[in-house]
């Protein structure tokens, strides 16, 4: 068939998107893989670096440590969040929206902050030091507690989704067949949430094994893979070994990703058009227990945040507890001062703006273009890749790729642009899936109607697709913003003297022993994210409602 104007535009955009993915993902990843089999002079030495790595027990032991904390955290975090999600979806307890909001707080903080809070709570001069009964918070205990805090909302969101697609008819059937509540739980509830639980496990596992902030702050002498990458690169300037550890770190993340994809494919939609939504019925004892449990979790979360808030506001822990804002005088410390904070805001705004445009437009072509099936499938697969790549690995890959003098894109190195590109890529997959879900809900015939009416697709895109998808588009923007504010792992390798970031400043101030200012900077990130989130809620409530009148029947 002859190509129409729309077809040429589609080819053009897919071509640009392909080039973008090549430069922001494929080539950097190629760079890091090839670096791991080169020596310092850039000569090919096969697997020599790997042989060295696996024969070095102190490095090799990190694999065990990483797996250990990741698995323990996964079990604890998924169990706690399952109970919490169960309370939110299956009980009639009071204050559900409150509990839900509190549970989301950790998403708004850099993961490091949880570590800092633990130091104030259980460190050498900690408030509750005695509770550890002589054990040190520095090490696996601290890592696991902080990681559970950090991963809790991620697991919770997935499990809430899984639990809220319950079909009331199954529960009625179980009741009619006189199954006990326990039997109903194991034969109806768990199987229907099975894939959600598995997915939560993979997500938590990947988050923990690739996280670098928490082990950096409370890990002490306990080495994990992500720390090794950092140490090799920043501490010893051994880029080749950094690349090797990165590849090693890539393996479990990639495996978890692949297994998760396979599991997700097996999930058939259990919620059909005929399903009846499950409505929990009041049960005093059960509701009370659930309320108590959620209160406890909420209290723990608020304690962590409250501790940081308090620590950031007092003069000198634990000797002078009078309140002051001196810890917020960032310009007096290392880490780039207030400029870091402004840079972060700038970086997060650009990421939200450009990330949303790139993600949504690409997802549109992937989902709605009429031809080029092969190219579109390829683009989708590439869009799924970033989920499997740890931030540290991505950041290091960017050094190798963009810092190379032979690269025409070298001028980007050390600029704000590279931070934005890297962050967009780092958080690409989840945004891509959000966009895809929204687009899949839009009638596929819109494009056909538009072309039968001889209108270019972009007219339809701007006057119909975008307005309909506004909620998803805002959601993607917020997701990019919040994550760009908190991320450390990818950007820690590529920020420049003029582009220091708040989240990295938290890391560096903590490193320099300025823990209170680090907490203060972390809280600044939290305030900003919370404010953005609140504005977002207001915007969706007021303005979006105005633009979305068409959704309502009256």
Partner 1 sequence: MSEYLKVTNISKSFGKFQALKEASFSVNEGELVCILGPSGCGKTTLLRVIAGLEEQSSGQIVQKGVTISDLPPDQRDFGIVFQSYALFPNLSVRNNITFGLQTRKQDASTMEARLNELLSLIGLESHKNKFPAQLSGGEQQRVALARALAPSPGLLLLDEPLSALDAKVRQFLRLEIKNLQKKLGVTTIMVTHDQEEALSMADRIILMNKGVIEQIGTPHELYSKPNTSFAADFIGKTNIIHASKVSDSKVNMLGKEFECNEPIPQSQVTIAIRPEDIKITQNPNDANTVQGKIIEIEFLGSYSIGQVEVSFDNQKENLICHLPIDNNEASNLAKNSQINFTLSSNSLKIVT
- The H or E element spanning position 385 is none
Strand partners, 167: 277
Of the chain, the end-to-end C-alpha distance in Å amounts to 45
Site membership for partner 1, residue 468 (CB under 8 A) = yes
CB of 477 to partner 1, least distance (A): 19
Pairwise CA distance, residues 16 & 22, whole Å = 10
Q: Does residue 554 belong to the site contacting partner 1 (CB under 8 A)?
A: yes
Applying CB under 8 A, the span of 226-234, 416-424, 439-447, 508-516 interacting with partner 1 comes to 439-447
Name which of residues 369 to 398 contact partner 1 (CB under 8 A). 370
Burial class, 385, CB count within 10 angstroms (exposed 0-12 / middle 13-18 / buried 19+): middle
Which positions ≥6 away from 464 have C-beta within 8 Å?
446
Q: Provide, rounded to whole angstroms, the least separation between the CB of residue 272 and partner 1.
A: 18
3 binds partner 1 (CB under 8 A): yes
Distance CA 338, CA 336 (A): 7
Of 55 and 549, nearer to partner 1 (C-beta) is 549
The distance of closest approach from Cβ of residue 553 to partner 1 in the complex, given in angstroms and rounded to an integer, is 6
Q: Shortest Cβ distance from residue 487 to partner 1 (Å)?
A: 34
Q: Is 77 in the site for partner 1 (CB under 8 A)?
A: no
- Reading the block at residue 464, the tokens are 């119909």
Question: Which residue, 187 or 371, has its beta carbon nearer to partner 1?
Answer: 371
- 551 in contact with partner 1 (CB under 8 A): yes
Helix (H) or strand (E) holding 488: none
CA dist., res. 442 & res. 243, Å (int):
43
Position among 266, 284, 373, 454 found at the interface with partner 1 (CB under 8 A): 454
Site string for partner 1, 397-436 (x = CB under 8 A): ----------------------------------------
Helices (H), 385-427: 391-402, 416-426
**From candidates 467, 527, 531, 539, binder to partner 1 by CB under 8 A:** 467
Q: Is 4 in the site for partner 1 (CB under 8 A)?
A: yes
Binders of partner 1 in range 6-65 (CB under 8 A): 6-7
- State in angstroms the smallest separation of the CB of 479 from partner 1: 23
> Which residues within the stretch 169-198 sit at the binding site for partner 1 (CB under 8 A)?
none
Identify the residue among 175, 321, 463, 531 touching partner 1 (CB under 8 A).
Answer: 463
464 sits near partner 1 (criterion: CB under 8 A):
yes
Tokens matching residue 380: 């989708």
Burial of residue 546, with CB atoms counted within 10 A of its CB: 0-12 exposed, 13-18 middle, 19 or more buried: exposed
User: Closer to partner 1 at the Cβ: 186 or 547?
Assistant: 547
**How far is 525 from 531, CA to CA, in rounded Å?**
10
Stretch that binds partner 1, among 100-108, 205-213, 360-368, 462-470 (CB under 8 A): 462-470
Question: 371 near 10, Cβ under 8 Å?
Answer: yes
E strand or H helix that includes residue 110: none
Q: Select the residue interacting with partner 1 from 266, 453, 541, 542 (CB under 8 A).
A: 453
| Site membership for partner 1, residue 1 (CB under 8 A) | yes
Instruction: Decide whether 261 or 370 has the Cβ nearer to partner 1.
Output: 370
443 binds partner 1 (CB under 8 A): yes
Least separation in angstroms between residue 453's CB and partner 1 is 3
Alpha carbons within 13 A on the beta-carbon side of 494: 32
Q: What is the 3-state secondary structure (H, E, C) of 200-237?
A: HHHHHHHHHHHCCHHHHHHCCCCCCHHHHHHHHHHHCC
Residue among 272, 320, 322, 452 that touches partner 1 (CB under 8 A)? 452
Helix 57-90, helix 140-164: angle, nearest 10? 40
List the one residue from 310, 354, 446, 536 that touches partner 1 (CB under 8 A). Answer: 446
The count of other CB atoms within 10 Å of the CB of residue 172 is: 12
Q: C-alpha distances in angstroms, 216 versus 115, 138, 224, 457?
A: 9, 10, 9, 49
Site size with partner 1, rule: CB under 8 A: 31
Least CB distance to partner 1 at residue 536 (A): 21
Closest approach, Cβ 362 to partner 1, in A, equals 22
State both tokens at 476.
């993607």
Candidate residues 221, 269, 322, 549; the one interacting with partner 1 per rule CB under 8 A: 549
In the complex with partner 1, which residue's Cβ is closer, 1 or 405?
1
Residue 38 main-chain phi, psi, to 5 deg: -120, 160
**Do the Cβ atoms of 14 and 372 come closer than 8 Å?**
yes
For the chain, give the number of residues. 554
Does 451 engage in binding with partner 1 (CB under 8 A)? yes
> Which stretches of the chain bind partner 1, using CB under 8 A?
1-7, 370, 443, 445-446, 448-455, 460, 463-464, 467-468, 548-554
């Amino acid at each position: 068939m002859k190509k129409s104007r729309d077809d040429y535009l589609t080819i053009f955009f897919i071509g640009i998107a392909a080039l973008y993915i090549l430069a922001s993902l494929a080539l950097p990843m190629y760079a890091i893989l090839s670096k791991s089999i080169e020596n310092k002079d850039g000569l090919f030495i096969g697997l020599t670096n790997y042989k060295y790595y696996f024969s070095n027990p102190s490095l090799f032991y990190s694999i065990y440590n990483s797996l250990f904390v990741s698995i323990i955290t996964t079990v604890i975090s998924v169990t706690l969040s399952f109970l919490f999600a169960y309370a939110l979806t299956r009980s009639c307890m009071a204050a559900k929206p409150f509990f839900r909001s509190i549970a989301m707080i950790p998403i708004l903080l850099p993961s490091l902050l949880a570590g800092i809070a633990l130091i104030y709570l259980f460190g050498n001069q900690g408030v509750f030091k005695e509770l550890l009964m002589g054990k040190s918070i520095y090490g696996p205990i601290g890592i696991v507690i902080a990681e559970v805090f950090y991963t809790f909302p991620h697991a919770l969101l997935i499990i809430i989704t899984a639990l809220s697609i319950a079909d009331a008819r199954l529960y009625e059937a179980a009741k009619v067949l006189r199954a006990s509540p326990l039997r109903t739980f194991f034969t109806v509830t768990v199987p229907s949430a099975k894939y959600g639980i598995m997915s939560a496990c993979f997500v938590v596992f990947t988050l923990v094994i690739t996280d670098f902030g928490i082990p950096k702050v409370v890990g002490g002498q306990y080495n994990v893979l992500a720390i090794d990458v950092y140490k090799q690169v920043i501490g010893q300037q051994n880029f080749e070994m950094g690349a090797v550890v990165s590849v090693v770190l890539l393996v479990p993340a990639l495996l978890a990703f692949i297994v998760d994809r396979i599991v997700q494919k097996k999930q058939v939609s259990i919620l059909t058009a005929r399903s009846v939504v499950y409505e929990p019925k009041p049960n005093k004892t059960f509701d009370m227990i659930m309320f108590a449990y959620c209160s406890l979790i909420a209290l723990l979360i608020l304690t962590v945040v409250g501790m940081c808030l308090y620590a950031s506001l007092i003069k000198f822990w634990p000797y002078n507890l009078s309140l002051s804002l001196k810890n917020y005088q960032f310009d007096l410390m290392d880490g780039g001062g207030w400029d870091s904070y402004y840079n972060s805001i700038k970086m997060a705004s650009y990421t939200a703006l450009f990330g949303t445009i790139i993600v949504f437009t690409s997802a549109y072509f992937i989902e709605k273009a009429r031809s080029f099936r092969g190219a579109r499938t390829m683009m989708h697969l590439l869009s799924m890749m970033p989920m499997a790549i740890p931030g540290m690995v991505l950041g290091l890959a960017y050094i190798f790729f963009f810092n190379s003098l032979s690269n025409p894109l070298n001028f980007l190195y050390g600029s704000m642009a590279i931070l934005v590109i890297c962050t967009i890529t780092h958080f690409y997959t989840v945004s891509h899936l959000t966009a895809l879900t929204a687009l899949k809900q839009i009638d596929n015939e819109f494009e056909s109607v538009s072309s039968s009416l001889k209108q270019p697709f972009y007219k339809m895109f701007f006057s119909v697709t975008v307005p309909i998808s506004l909620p998803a588009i805002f959601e993607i923007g917020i997701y990019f913003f919040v994550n760009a504010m908190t991320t450390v792992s990818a950007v820690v390798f590529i920020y420049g003297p003029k582009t220091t970031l708040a989240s990295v400043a938290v890391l560096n101030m903590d490193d320099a022993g300025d823990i209170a200012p680090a907490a203060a900077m972390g809280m600044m990130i939290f305030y900003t994210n919370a404010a953005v989130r609140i504005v977002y809620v207001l915007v969706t409530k007021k303005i979006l409602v105005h633009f979305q009148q068409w959704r309502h029947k009256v």
